[in-house]
Amino acid sequence: MLGRDLVGALGRAGHDVTGLAHRDLDVTDEAAVHAALREHRPGIVVNCAAWTRVDDAEKHEEEALAVNGHGAAHVAAACADSGARLVQISSDYVFGGDTRRPYNETDDARPRTAYGRAKLAGEQAVLRRLPGTGYVVRTAWLYGAHGPNFVRTIIRLERERPAIDVVDDQLGQPTWTVDLADGIIALERSHAAPGIYHASSSGSVTWFGLAREIFTLLGADPARVRPITTAEYPSPAPRPACSVLGHSAWAAAGVEPLPVWQMALRRAFPRLLAAREEPPGGRELRLEARPG
């Protein structure tokens, strides 16, 4: 989802860009990663590869760690050997989600899930191996036209269900992958110092509030979206009550903030409506969008 939008944004910006899907390169294969960088000789690598099945990671932590942790370490090692800079995409899940204030880049990472621990391992590997050329960009609540995600699921459920129940006690920042792609490019152009940056939409909302906004944009009655609590719809991996990220390092680098989430959603909506339907059974959305 992010990778495809990033390749498109880089192409529009005039960069010579190569996008490698999983079928082209498995980041868990260290030799293959080194060979790919020797072949393509990039100046900058953006690692969008990730195990994103948050609930499945609770039972398959080693597999998640192989991609999110060891895979990131392999990419970092190959970048160190080749002299390329690396942007590692990370997640709000490295935090516990038990505060009501935005998380700063300098706050202690205390993940509560297998997925979060694996993402944190990837961050640490990148920063340890590439202290002068490694960037960690944490983001949250991604949606876009090229994969299953909460926004596209709600668009589909509005057509299929008379009402839906959506969690109203988890706060976060819905972030359009096109905006994030543009932000990553802007960060690299800014010559910002290496380190950790938070890149997510401005403002915040609950899943329930986001679903009601989607219904409104569809011209549907937002009252068809009903609020529930996390306790009413538990999942194997605990969801953070607050995923709001602060953007102090981003601002200090002089990079334009990502748009407010409502504005971004309105801009994204035509592309989302035109996108092909996501495959059925998106398990990672089960907590946030329950059919009524």
Question: Mind telling me the catalytic residues?
Answer: 115
Distance between CA atoms of residues 133 and 129, nearest Å:
9
Contact (Cβ atoms closer than 8 angstroms) between residue 137 and residue 197:
yes
Structure tokens at 129: 């191996």
As to burial, measured by CB atoms within 10 angstroms (0-12 exposed, 13-18 middle, 19+ buried), residue 263 is middle
The CB density around residue 291, as the number of other CB atoms within 10 Å, is: 10
The helix/strand count (H/E) of the chain reads as 11, 11
Residue 86 φ then ψ, to 5° = -130, 135
Residue 121 φ then ψ, to 5° = -60, -40
Which residue shows structure tokens 């706060």? 171
Distance between CA atoms of residues 84 and 58, nearest Å:
33
